[in-house]
Amino acid sequence: MSAARLVADLGRRGIRLGLTADGIRYEAPIGALTTSDRKAIGTHRAALMDLLRAANGTTAPSSPCQLCGGVLGFVEDWPSAGDKGWLCAACPARPAPTLAEVFASLSDAERTRFRGEVVAGDRLAERVAEALGETCPLGVIAAQGKKAS
């Protein structure tokens, strides 16, 4: 049986396949997926993943993860339901730094540039400074500027 026929056969029985970061997931009515189905999915794993990518209108990027160099997989419903894209399995699991942590990591030159953007009225810089609040002196400046205007 070809991968395409397997997908069609599973589909007729209400079994839907999808891609995860590291393989294939399925949604099936309770008891619908048999041991033989699992074995067939394993046998055709690579071809099924190619089909699912094609169905998503995507092809695997030729480069690895730009952050860590890891292998990319197509992920659906991450970070929010309905979102999808190519991610490595490692990066989404890492904790994201807070704005205060990012601000604390800035060099003197970067802080000077950021301050210049806030003073010049750059809206994004102002929003970041406001979000930093008391952890950043510029947050107080941005908030005062807002009250004054």
Q: Is 65 in the site for Zn ion (CB under 5 A)?
A: yes
Residues 90, 61 contacting (CB under 8 angstroms): no
Six-digit token string for 72: 């990319």
- Least distance from Zn ion to the Cβ atom of residue 90, Å: 5
Closer to Zn ion at the Cβ: 89 or 140?
A: 89
Six-digit token string for 8: 């069609």
Binding mask 73-92 toward Zn ion (x if CB under 5 A, else -) reads ---------------x-xx-
Cα-based angle 76, 59, 80 (whole degrees, multiple of 5): 15
CA–CA dist 27, 107 (Å, integer): 49
Stretch that binds Zn ion, among 7-15, 27-35, 57-65, 139-147 (CB under 5 A): 57-65
Q: Which residues bind Zn ion (CB under 5 A)?
A: 65, 67-68, 70, 88, 90-91
